[in-house]
Chain A
Amino acid sequence: MRPSLALVAVAICATIGCDRKSDTPQSQSPAEIAKEAPVTSKTSPELVHQQSSLVSADSGTVSDFERRVKDFVQLRDTLERDLTKLPDKATPIQIDKHQRELGLAVARSRAQAKLGDIFVPGMQTYIRGVVKRVLSGPEGPQIKASLMDENPMQVQFKVNDRYPDTIPMSTMPPDMLAALPPLEKDLEYRFVGNRLVLLDLQSHLIIDYVTDTFAL
């Protein structure tokens, strides 16, 4: 027998906190419910309200960030079209070569790029605020423990550097991801120490980052 949607809603309500239960239509799926409450899984209504206000006040900053990200993706995609297309059954050698060629092309094309070009000062403040809010919420200690798990702490890098090959990717806690602005395809947020890095997966380059997002 398929699980009824009511049961599904009850299951997710039990997880995200009962104070949301009465507002949750029974026809919603768990993922839809999660989509509606993307801040944290156990966020109080006050916290949700605080974030809504902040998002509203900073919507111009976030839109500007999204535009800068989009510009980068356009540039990268244009540069990639000039490269030889990877075959469907690419070997590791071909994949590696393609990625490094794209990385070089991107780095060359934005050779003047510097810290804060995409995360402009206003956006840096916004990001620090988001991180602080998530980490000071009820699940904060658990979320911090998760993002510190195998977090490569003392790694030196700058904008346009290749993400170091020998260090693991830090785990992005779902609640932290949900609180940050969504990204274009093939871009990711990662923490390296307390720096929030914007990583381009196609070129494996660090596009920009925000320093001191939380106290170590």
Chain B
Amino acid sequence: MSDRSPGLRLLSLLGCVLLWHVAATRHLSLPGLVTFANVPSPAEVLQAAWALLRSPKLAAHLASSLARVGAGFGAAMLVGVGLGLLIGRVRWVRAALLPPLEVLRPIPAVAWIPLAILMFPSSEASMVFVTFTGAVFPILLNTIHGVEAIDARLVASARSLGTRRWRLFSEVVAPAAAPSIVTGLSIGMGTCWFCLVTAEMIAGQYGIGYFTWESYTVQNYPAIVVGMLAIGALGMGSSALIRWAGDRLMPWYRPQRGAR
């Protein structure tokens, strides 16, 4: 479906921008429901984007956001994959850790923000914690799922070939669960950005989320949309980066169904 009718795909995108343009310049309004009176037009957004690109603050915004995502996601990857492998394979670890994790899992990471601000000495640390919380559960659950789905015959064969306890993890369990882990990392990366942006709006000094919210408070409306688009692009880009790295690291893996 990716290569078929690129013309149509482009046309549909252009159509949407055109609709946006018309709605914004005509100040379309459905009274009491929604109004485009304060929505900037595509041209204004383009100008604001250009202004941001030339602004010295862009690098600072990007750097803070990327550093927070890097720290939160990195920690979530270590904890999620490490615990996931153990919970999936070792019965007593599962019995000990799964109940508290099951209690924490349904709490959205964003709901942690007030408590995180109270718990951590700096707002920086609390934002990293919130992004960590957002990313860790998809990674953990996909890792557990990947470990549980391993063909028992594969493990039996490995043991018959002399693979002992810890080698079994590095040689068999981790690579067999790798496709599922990559899926978890990719989903986790998405939720990571989502949580970061929300946290930055509340506690941030710099960062793309902070930039978006600041633009609202100083009534620089076109910049809001620039911030939104930047957040989308960063989230999509980093998820694509993970899938690309996954494909490079797993040349042996081809999904049977195109669902992943």
Partners in one complex: no
